[in-house]
Amino acid sequence: MNKYVINGGKPLFGEVEISGAKNAAVAILPAALLVDGVCRIENIPQISDVTSLLRIIDELGAKVRQINLHTVEIDARHIHTTRVSQELAHKIRASYYLIGALLGRFGEAEVSMPGGCNFGGVRPIDQHLKGFRAMGAEISTGDPIIARAEGGRMKGANVYLDVVSVGATMNIMMAAALAEGLTTIENAAKEPHIVDLANFLNSMGADIKGAGTDTIRIHGREKLNGGSYTIIPDQIEAGTYMAAVAATGGQVLIRNIIPKHMDCITAKLLEMGVEVEEEDDTLLVRRTGALKRTNIKTMPYPGFPTDMQPQIAVGLALAEGTSIVTEGVWDNRYRYVSELNRMGAQIRVEGRTAVVEGVSKLNGTCVQAFDLRAGAAMVIAALAAEGTTEITNIQYIERGYEQIVEKLRGIGADIRSEKIKEEEISIPHIS
């Protein structure tokens, strides 16, 4: 087990290259199981969630060929089981996509309940199951979830989502790609990775229209064929480096992004007094003056992303005045606040709202990552803080950020990953 040791208080300067989008990759890799052929997928981030998924895909009988660090070929012509082993399924949240993909292709799936980040509350999948049931699946909801399509093939249906859910939208899209007839998803999520999954499936021969709007129509096909696809850049990874520059000061060129995807984050950083200059596929982020207060409310895309809420809160903790943060997606995503307050922040949480009183500085100490984005916020806080910070439970961070230590060192951060000594090991708050 390792920890990050960060000597903070230095502005960041240089260039950072953004990897492929985690939340697109963790859907597109299972979606490759729908394809009766060979898919070549490029720009896959090298993160532990991807490693776990590739192991699952391999265990199911697909041939996985690693072409280079960021490219794999998946040949799912000969799958020998639709049962996903519990140990692997528990490791990642995105294992729920295996239900949609396996149901879509084979009309059956047996998948343990997903693991992944725990925000301290329940992470339901009732909307996914509602969609599958509308499409004729019978589902028993213990652990594992066992799903079977009536007659062996999913049937097109109208599915109205009661909450805007990224996971349910993508899962139903997968199950519908090979279903008999037309599926319509209403009140669908519109995140960039929804469009990316639709583009991937369409490039393999699916017929999906309307991804990126709140109504998606999928005409089921008999078969999908192989092909080649490149995953979009990671909006949240890019936003995280932008938020780091906001908190530390300095100037960093963020490379390989889609500027349109960054608008919701850029808008808030501009309000905070950060300068952002957009080019074709880069953003130049600069902060020279003091940070200004602002209010943030997280919402489904194109609103401000919940996955950027902890990281932006670090900048607000260092801004002049009082900012109000409202979490509009998850019930409980403020577990990082206690750690940030131990570094000197003054944040009070009241239900889904956090009142952030700006302070002039943060101080280094020992903190832990409670989940992926909470961990990213700890890294940003440590980079901005005076003195040394040690961050434990970094396995959460490495689920979603490729080479974060190397990338930060490349822009001048004093960060290293170090083995935790036996006597330092404590029981993590969550597993």
What is the length of the chain? 431
Binders of ligand EPU among 350-389, rule CB under 6 A? 372-373
Which residue is at the shortest CB distance from ligand EPU? 167
Q: Which H or E run includes 417?
A: strand 414-419
Tell whether residue 430 is a contact of ligand EPU (CB under 6 A).
Answer: no
Please, where are the H alpha helices in 318-412?
337-342, 372-384, 395-398, 404-410
Coil/strand/helix, residue 392: strand
Minimal distance, residue 77 CB to ligand EPU, in Å: 27
Q: Please, which residues bridge with residue 287 across strands?
A: 250
Catalytic position from the list 39, 117, 264, 366: 117
User: By CB under 6 A, which span of 120-128, 210-218, 264-272, 420-428 interacts with ligand EPU?
Assistant: 120-128
Catalytic annotation present for 264: no
Residues 6+ away with beta carbon under 8 Å from 168: 125, 127, 128, 130, 131, 161, 189
Q: What are phi and psi of 243, to 5 degrees?
A: -65, -30
Among 101, 121, 119, 120, residue whose Cα is nearest residue 111: 101
* E-assigned strand segments in 142-220: 145-149, 158-160, 182-186, 207-209, 215-219
Binders of ligand EPU among 385-414, rule CB under 6 A? 400
Among 33, 40, 37, 58, residue whose Cα is nearest residue 175: 33
Please pick, from the candidates 58, 87, 126, 281, the single residue that binds ligand EPU as defined by CB under 6 A. Answer: 126
Q: Is 114 left (phi over 0), alpha (psi -120 to 50) or beta?
A: beta
Binders of ligand EPU among 255-284, rule CB under 6 A? none
Tell whether residue 23 is a contact of ligand EPU (CB under 6 A).
Answer: yes
Of the two residues 165 and 323, which places its CB atom closer to ligand EPU in the complex?
Answer: 165
Minimal distance, residue 130 CB to ligand EPU, in Å: 7
Compute the distance between CA of residue 196 and CA of residue 135 in angstroms, rounded to an integer: 23
Please pick, from the candidates 57, 60, 329, 405, the single residue that binds ligand EPU as defined by CB under 6 A. Answer: 329
Tell whether residue 123 is a contact of ligand EPU (CB under 6 A).
Answer: yes
Of the two residues 174 and 291, which places its CB atom closer to ligand EPU in the complex?
Answer: 174
Among 90, 117, 91, 22, residue whose Cα is nearest residue 335: 117
Please pick, from the candidates 63, 77, 124, 267, the single residue that binds ligand EPU as defined by CB under 6 A. Answer: 124
Tell whether residue 128 is a contact of ligand EPU (CB under 6 A).
Answer: yes
Minimal distance, residue 429 CB to ligand EPU, in Å: 17
Tell whether residue 165 is a contact of ligand EPU (CB under 6 A).
Answer: yes
User: By CB under 6 A, which span of 79-87, 118-126, 212-220, 401-409 interacts with ligand EPU?
Assistant: 118-126
User: By CB under 6 A, which span of 162-170, 285-293, 360-368, 422-430 interacts with ligand EPU?
Assistant: 162-170
* E-assigned strand segments in 61-101: 63-68, 71-75
Among 193, 175, 195, residue whose Cα is nearest residue 34: 175
User: By CB under 6 A, which span of 123-131, 203-211, 220-228, 351-359 interacts with ligand EPU?
Assistant: 123-131
What is the DSSP annotation of 100-129? HHHHHHHSEEEEPPP-S---SS----HHHH
Looking up tokens 């997606």 gives 329
Please pick, from the candidates 28, 39, 125, 404, the single residue that binds ligand EPU as defined by CB under 6 A. Answer: 125
Site string for ligand EPU, 289-318 (x = CB under 6 A): -----------------xx-----------
Site string for ligand EPU, 168-197 (x = CB under 6 A): x--------------------x--------
Instruction: Count interface residues toward ligand EPU (CB under 6 A).
Output: 24
Interface with ligand EPU (CB under 6 A): 23, 26, 93-94, 117, 123-128, 163, 165-168, 189, 306-307, 329-330, 372-373, 400
Q: Mind telling me the catalytic residues?
A: 117
